[in-house]
Amino acid sequence: MTPTSRGSITLSSADPLTSPVIDPNYYAIEADRETTDGVSLVEAEVPPDGFAELKVESTDEEIDARVRRARNTFYHAAGSASMGKVVDSQLRVYGVKGLRVMDASVIPVPIAAHYQACVYAIAEKAADLVLQTSGAKVSDVV
């Protein structure tokens, strides 16, 4: 599933040691809430013999409530410093000289895959950008 709801991260204080306010905004868009259709399908397909105790018939509201309680990011948050909003195409943070972001937070939209391969690609590109900007060669740093 590729979620389409967009959350936000905002500062809660001018104190850098204060945690930000994180609102994942789960299921804000109807398309994301349609996951209940998948749960209904699974419930309908549970075989009657030997699995009777697993058989559940729920209303859409009950399924929606269960999905909302069980939601999880699996700790693969991304997009909190999206390209175009926080960083430019060279991964430089707008308004902060000498700072680049080189992790999954620059991915502008959710993807339907594991983020690890994307992070490897971002890191590879970022290394090229840093070398290019510094004028160094790979042989100088290896």
The pLDDT value recorded for residue 49 is 65
What are 47-98's pLDDT values in tens digits? 666 556 656 677 878 877 877 777 766 666 777 787 778 999 999 999 999 9
pTM for this predicted structure: 0.61
Q: 116 versus 66: which is more confidently predicted?
A: 116
Annotated active-site positions, please?
Answer: 76
Residue 118's nearest CA partner among 106, 135, 131, 128 is 106
The torsion angles phi and psi of 32, rounded to 5 degrees, stand at -70, -30
What are 4-55's pLDDT values in tens digits? 777 888 889 999 999 999 888 877 777 777 777 777 777 777 666 655 665 6
The pLDDT value recorded for residue 8 is 82
